[in-house]
Amino acid sequence: MIVIDGYNLIGQAAGTLSGLSLEKERQVLIRQVEKLSQITGVKALIVFDGFAKSSTSEPKTPVTIAYSKSGQTADGWILKYLSRRPKGSAILITGDRELAHKAKKLGFKVGQSLNQLEAKAQPYLTSSVTEAQTGGDLLTSISPQSREALAKARKKLNDS
């Protein structure tokens, strides 16, 4: 499981997404994580600061989107969530040093980018994720052979 500090990650990619509205930046990040999760099978939780919204999960994807409640930060939401999970059962993605420090004290690994997830997806891609971020479609960049191998692996897992 990967837990993502959504707006923090968007802030790190500001140069890539500059000029987009916050809603569009959020959608770009969600689509990127969904595609990487579909390829790798790694579940992800993206947490955004917000209110009056509830957790949602896109059908048939291993990605959950959560918004903190009014009066609560995404950082607080994430720490509460991690404190209820077994140590080491998730990796937090954030560039926020204070949040990273607290998550490490709870027994979780921390990364600053999606590099680990991207590296895991790389063998299935014919082009890099960075190319996909600049306008290409990540799923169509998967070679037909890799798509077939991935489908067989998923079927085998579902059958067992």
Give the pLDDT confidence of 39-59 residue by residue, as tens digits: 888 899 999 988 545 445 445
pTM over 0.85: no
Which of 6-10, 11-15, 29-33, 88-92 shows the lowest mean pLDDT across its residues?
11-15
- What's the CA gap between 40 and 8, in Å, rounded? 23
Is the pLDDT assigned to residue 131 strictly greater than 60? no
pLDDT > 70: percent of the chain: 64
What domains appear along the chain, each with residue ranges and CATH number?
2-114 (3.40.50)
Q: What's the mean per-residue pLDDT of the chain? A: 77
Residue 37's DSSP bridge partners are none
Q: End-to-end alpha-carbon separation of the chain, Å?
A: 21
Mean pLDDT for the stretch of residues 71-81: 94
Question: Could you tell me the two tokens for 66?
Answer: 């959560």
Question: Could you tell me the two tokens for 18?
Answer: 């500059």
Q: What percent helix, strand, coil does the chain show, rounded to 5?
A: 50, 15, 35
> Which run of H or of E encompasses 12?
helix 6-12
- What's the CA gap between 86 and 70, in Å, rounded? 27
- Report residue 149's pLDDT band, with 50, 70 and 90 as the boundaries: low
Residues 6+ apart with CB under 8 A from 105: none
Mean pLDDT for the stretch of residues 76-90: 95
